[in-house]
Amino acid sequence: MALDIKQGPRAKKSLGQNFLQDKNTANRIVDALKIEADDHVIEIGPGPGALTHLIHDRKPAWFTILEKDNHWAHEHKRQPPAGDPELQVVLTDALLFPWENLTSDKPWKVIGNLPYNVASPLMWDILSKATGLKRAVFMIQKEVGDRIVAAPSSKQYGALSVWLQSFCKPKREFIVPPGVFIPRPKVDSAVLSFVPIPVEERDFDPAALSWLLKVTFQQRRKQLQKILKGCIASGIDDALEKAGVVGTARPETLTTRQFQLLADALKSCPKK
Ligand code: SAM
């Protein structure tokens, strides 16, 4: 059973607190994580625990929750779910968590109904840094979910699409309407699952890709050659050719692979 939200403080907007009240939806979210007996599960932002007890019921080998709100972290410490696994409660900002420590020595799974104000940077970090991740499931604003699964040349396609699709295969599982939360958000939410691409198949430089995405999508209406001329001193034409990209193309038309190839090719070019 989740903790009683009526016994807690008012939901904090600054922490993106919209608490899920529908058990059927909560069960579907937890089902999407496909928990197995040897899994090491981390839940981000449990709040009163709509997902927490359902995760615990599925008996992973190890279960930790990361919560920034002192009240809810304390309440979970005071009233942990009975039985194994023992619930580890960490009062922290998930943005500061060392996700790179989730290495392949353990089967890691991460889940969360993410606070909308930090969802994108959190997913950006977790999915690129946690090399031992087996699967992740996040509930986020539907509009952010649309951006994550977007294809090239669509309005939603951007840095977040290219970045996350470079590290994993995202899939939209289902849509959740505002009426199942207290307080009620203004927009629909979406639940997405993420299956990481095996590390040995990732043949690109993340730092170079991150740099290129930031530079190009800040000026997504401009032609690539014009954007690059503003920050690269020489070698642009060769790099574009290596990546199989024409200079007059706009960033939003490039595939994920073309971005990775162009980022690698530009690495040796002197920056301005
Ligand atoms: N899991 C609960 C549910 O589904 O009802 C709560 C979800 S609510 C959308 C987001 C939760 O994340 C809140 O409990 C909030 O306190 C917590 N939170 C907000 N920012 C956080 C951060 N940076 N690190 C960890 N938890 C955070």
Q: Select the CATH number that applies to the domain covering 206-266 from these four: 3.40.50.2300, 3.40.50.10330, 1.10.3720.10, 1.10.8.100.
A: 1.10.8.100
Provide φ and ψ at 208, rounded to 5°. Answer: -65, -40
Q: Quickly state the pLDDT bin for 3 (edges 50, 70, 90).
A: confident
Most informative mutation of 17, 43, 118 for ligand 1 (most atoms within 8 A of CB): 17
Q: Which of 112, 91, 96 minimizes the C-alpha distance to 26?
A: 112
pLDDT at 4 over 90: no
What percentage of residues in the chain have a pLDDT greater than 90? 93
Ligand 1: distance of its center to the CA of 78 in Å?
Answer: 18
CATH fold of 5-201 = Rossmann fold (3.40.50)
Tokens of 122: 């959190």
Q: Quickly state the pLDDT bin for 199 (edges 50, 70, 90).
A: very high
Contact 249, 198 (CB under 8 A): no
Q: Whose CA is nearest to atom 5 of ligand 1?
A: 19
Ligand 1: distance of its center to the CA of 113 in Å?
Answer: 7
Ligand 1: distance of its center to the CA of 157 in Å?
Answer: 27
Q: Average pLDDT for residues 105-126, to the nearest whole number?
A: 97
Residue given tokens 């410490």 in the structure block: 77
pLDDT at 128 over 80: yes
Q: Average pLDDT for residues 189-202, to the nearest whole number?
A: 97
State residue 181's pLDDT score. Answer: 97
Ligand 1: distance of its center to the CA of 114 in Å?
Answer: 6
Q: Which position has the higher pLDDT, 150 or 270?
A: 150
Ligand 1: distance of its center to the CA of 270 in Å?
Answer: 43
Please list every protein residue whose CB sits less than 6 Å from any atom of ligand 1.
15-20, 44-47, 50-51, 66-69, 72, 93-95, 113, 115, 118
In the annotated binding site for S-adenosyl-L-methionine, the residues are 18, 20, 45, 67, 93, 113
Tokens of 70: 């002192």
pLDDT at 6 over 90: no
Could you report the per-residue pLDDT of 36-84, keeping only the tens digit for each?
A: 999 999 999 999 999 999 999 999 999 999 999 999 999 999 999 999 9
Angle, nearest 10°, between helix axes 206-217 and 256-266? 110
What sign does the dihedral 157-161-166-170 (CA atoms) show?
negative
Domain ranges of the chain: 5-201, 206-266
pLDDT at 182 over 90: yes
Ligand 1: distance of its center to the CA of 30 in Å?
Answer: 16
Across the chain, mean pLDDT equals 96
SS (H, E, C) the chain: CCCCHHHCCCCCHHHCCCEECCHHHHHHHHHHCCCCCCCEEEEECCCCCCCHHHHHHCCCCEEEEEECCHHHHHHHHHCCCCCCCCEEEEECCHHHCCHHHCCCCCCEEEEEECCCCCHHHHHHHHHHHCCCEEEEEEEEEHHHHHHHHCCCCCCCCCHHHHHHHHHEEEEEEEEECHHHEECCCCCCEEEEEEEECCHHHCCCCHHHHHHHHHHHHCCCCCCHHHHHHCCECCCHHHHHHHHCCCCCCCHHHCCHHHHHHHHHHHCCCCEC
Q: Quickly state the pLDDT bin for 7 (edges 50, 70, 90).
A: confident
Q: Whose CA is nearest to atom 20 of ligand 1?
A: 15
Residue given tokens 């979406």 in the structure block: 190
Cα radius of gyration rounded to whole Å, the chain: 20
Tokens of 255: 């595939």
Most informative mutation of 21, 113, 141, 189 for ligand 1 (most atoms within 8 A of CB): 113
State residue 272's pLDDT score. Answer: 83
Q: Whose CA is nearest to atom 7 of ligand 1?
A: 113
Counting every residue, how long is the chain? Answer: 272
Contact 241, 206 (CB under 8 A): no
Most informative mutation of 12, 14, 67, 189 for ligand 1 (most atoms within 8 A of CB): 67
- The answer to which of 1-10, 54-63, 132-141, 163-172 has the lowest mean pLDDT is 1-10
Count Cβ atoms within 10 A of the Cβ of residue 165 and give its class: 0-12 exposed, 13-18 middle, 19 or more buried.
buried
Could you report the per-residue pLDDT of 206-258, keeping only the tens digit for each?
A: 999 999 999 999 998 999 999 999 999 999 999 999 999 999 999 999 999 99
Count Cβ atoms within 10 A of the Cβ of residue 179 and give its class: 0-12 exposed, 13-18 middle, 19 or more buried.
exposed
Q: Average pLDDT for residues 132-137, to the nearest whole number?
A: 98
pLDDT at 2 over 90: no
